[in-house]
Amino acid sequence: MLTYTNGIFVWTIGCTIVSVNEEIITNTIINLYQNYPNPFNPTTTIHYDLKNSGFIDLKVYNVKGQLVETLVNRELKAGKHSAVWNTKGFSSGQYFYQISVNGKAVQIKKATCLK
């Protein structure tokens, strides 16, 4: 579940809680877009814009909060970027993708895989 209180985003999946200060979002990420298509089978594309260069992690989690795939884990320059997620070998269901910049969780979105 993702909630917003007093400038802080809090994401709770199972027992894992991630909180994010809104200032990090506005100063680092211009936008993390909803994956397209959604729902999808077997691939989907995740687009995001970076305001500044930084070390980017784009990870996918299942509803239990378990990491299922790392799509991006590298230094990127400012600009428009995208990653394709192929769910071959994954089951249908809800997944969450999270982008982190320089080790700080920034934004989270939900994706639905239908097989």
Domains and CATH numbers, the chain: 2-113 (2.60.40.1930)
Closest CA to 1 of 51, 84, 63, 70: 63
**What is the tens place of the pLDDT at every residue in 71-88?**
999 999 999 999 999 999
**What is the tens place of the pLDDT at every residue in 56-71?**
999 999 998 899 999 9
Which residues make Cβ contacts (< 8 Å) with residue 28, sequence separation at least 6? 50, 51, 52, 54, 101, 102, 104, 106
**C-alpha span between 73 and 68 (Å, rounded):** 14
Contact 96, 68 (CB under 8 A): no
**C-alpha span between 84 and 13 (Å, rounded):** 23
pTM assigned to the model: 0.76
